[in-house]
Structure formats: structure tokens, C-alpha cells
Chain A
Amino acid sequence: MTYLPLSYLLGSRAKVDIIRILVNRQNYTGRKIAVLSSTNPNSNKKALDFLIETGLVLREQVGNAYHYNLNDKHFLYEPITTLFKEEEKTINKIMKCASAFIEEFAPKTLAGFVSYLRSSVVLTVLAHSFPVKDLGDYIYEKTGFRVVVKVIDTITLNEKSVTDYAEKIYFWNNYKSIVKMLDSRNVVKTFFNF
């Protein structure tokens, strides 16, 4: 088996997260990249050093700090930036679609979140009596993508779901850079402001 460059470049979550961050914004310090990707400083440094060695990432000293950028002369710059921009575009499309559905068909929904469980997109809504299947079908019809829809029922708010979500949040926190808020109504913000 011959390992082509992408196998090395995308070979770990730390490297993938660094590239994703640098695609969206250049000139970050190593510390900022570590915070954004929720990676421990040592793994972050190791991944950055590796990416510099490949030539895809450039390091520049600015004052006392190092700033990192993607190298737009690298032969994989175009395909890699396109890949991550497409990922972002797809997620935004799903979020927009979910917001439109909630607005039209489930306006009493109090909040919504987008997260990822491995390679699946998970939409979680805080609502009572939410049309789960309809949302899944609507998104599939509009975008061609299947998503997982989860509901936190406002009536029960039961202990089991607290445990379930606490576990998932722990998971999500490790992937903070890719968890997004879909929507949060004022009613939920006001209610829990005690």
C-alpha cells in the first residue's frame, strides 16, 4: 500500500482540526489553535510541527509569538480548502433548513443545537411534542442528507435525559469547535436566568 500525501496530512484529529481552523482564519497563534480545537498543547504542537514539515502550514514569528498560516503555494492547498469549505457549507445548509422547518412547523420549539456524533449530523431540539420524523424527512428532501434528530422533551425533562445529555455534552465539549447553536428562544433564556 502506498501512502499518498493526504493519508499523512489528514491522519489525526488534531491535524484535521488545525487545517479546518486555518482554512477559516489565518494568522492564529499555536495557543489559540489549541484552544479552538480543544487539543492539549503538546499534541497541538506535535501536529503543527508535522504540518510545517509537510509544507502545508507556514510558521511566522511576530514579536514574541509564532503565527500559523496555510501555504497557498502547496499543491494540496486548493483541494483541501475546498473540502473544508464544502463541509462548512453543507452544515450551514442543514442548519438553515432546520431553522426554516422549526419556524414554519414547530414554532414552539425553545432551542436547537447542531452537533456531530462521529460522521453523523445530530440536530437536538428542546421542545414538547416535536415532529421528529418530519424534520428528518424535510432536511433529506431539501438537502439530500440524512440527519439524526433528538428531542429533549420540556415536559418530562427527566433524569435519564439529564444523564444522557451530560454524557453527550462531555463528548461535544471535546469537539467544541464544531458544535453550533441553531436557535435559542428568549423564553428559554429568561426562564433559566435564575
Chain B
Amino acid sequence: MNKNINVLIIDDEESILSSLRRLLEDKGYNVVTNSDPAAAIEYMRNNLVHIALIDITMPNLDGLSVLSMIKDVNSLTQIIMMSAYATTDRVIAALENGANDFLLKPFNNLEHVVSIVEESEKKLVRWQGVLKQLGAL
């Protein structure tokens, strides 16, 4: 069943993009992937993205810079950072800059990836309820 939640995945590894796309589309998310961070940010300027999964280490643009640019485009987008070489400092820096969660690569348990994305979705649904009650929607 389609959830009407748009997910953007940014990673320079095509294999990661295709496996995550398949996984999340099967769970009903609308998924867009991009291996070029600059193009992904441009995409976000014209399209609604509820949840973004971003690789923290990419050749052209650092994941933390992408995170900050995305938050500047839409501060409501929920961000999940991904990394194979996550140091504690990088994880803390990402969380301090507005990342909502962190995923460690390689993904040995794909259900864990789904549960992290679903957590972000649940948070948005909770806030949707709060804002409805406040009359903002």
C-alpha cells in the first residue's frame, strides 16, 4: 500500500541505492535515489521530501554539508545519516546538526533499516496529529 511518504536516498554506491530503493518501495514509500549530492539538493528545492537517507562520506560533497543544505531547504525533512566508517565524533556532529538517526553500513539486517525509517515516519505522523489539533493544517 502506498504511504504517500517521499524518501530520498543519497549515496555514491549504486548497489546501496538500488537495494534500499527496492526495500523501501516494498514497504510502500515513494523512493527517489541520487548518487550526486548537489543534484539531490536541487531535486529537494522543487520536490517534497519527508525522509532523507544520506551517506556521510561521499567523494564530491561531505555528508554533513549535505545535511545542513537539506535542512536549509526544508527543516522539516527527517534525516537519517549512513556510514561505513562512523566515528563517534562524526555521529555526534551529525546529530547536533539536525540528523534524526544513524545507520551503520553494511546493512546486515535490512529490517533494522526499515524500522529506523518507520520511526521517522511515526514521528511525522505524531506531529501531523499535533498540528491538526492546533489548526495549522
Residues of A within 8 A of B (CB): 108, 110-111, 113, 124, 126, 128, 154-157, 159, 162, 165-166, 169, 172-173, 179, 181, 184, 187-194
| Contact yes or no, B71 A169, CB < 8 A | no
Q: A113, A128, A154, A166: which contacts B135 (Cβ < 8 A)? A: A113
| Contact yes or no, B136 A181, CB < 8 A | yes
| Contact yes or no, A155 B133, CB < 8 A | no
Chain A residues with CB under 8 Å of B126's CB are 162
A111→B133 CA distance, assembly (Å): 13
* In the complex, the 9 A-B pairs of residues with the closest C-beta atoms, listed nearest first: A194-B4, A154-B75, A155-B98, A111-B136, A184-B136, A128-B75, A181-B135, A192-B128, A169-B133
Does B104 interact with chain A (Cβ within 8 Å)?
no
Known: A169-B133, A184-B137. A194 touches B5 (CB 8 A): yes
**Cβ contacts B103-137/A at 8 Å (1 or 0 each):** 00000000000000000000110111011011111
CB of B6, distance to nearest CB on chain A (Å): 8
A169→B132 CA distance, assembly (Å): 10
Considering residues B4, B131, B133, which has the most beta carbons from chain A within 10 angstroms of its beta carbon? B131
Chain B residues with CB under 8 Å of A159's CB are 123
| Contact yes or no, B127 A192, CB < 8 A | yes
Chain A residues with CB under 8 Å of B65's CB are none
A194→B120 CA distance, assembly (Å): 14
For window 1-20 of chain B, which residues contact chain A by CB distance below 8 Å?
3-5
A164→B128 CA distance, assembly (Å): 15
Known: A188-B76, A191-B50, A194-B3. A173 touches B127 (CB 8 A): no
CB of A185, distance to nearest CB on chain B (Å): 9
| Contact yes or no, B123 A193, CB < 8 A | no
Chain A residues with CB under 8 Å of B5's CB are 194
A173→B126 CA distance, assembly (Å): 17
CB of A93, distance to nearest CB on chain B (Å): 20
| Contact yes or no, A192 B131, CB < 8 A | yes
**Cβ contacts B31-73/A at 8 Å (1 or 0 each):** 0000000000000000010100000000000000000000100
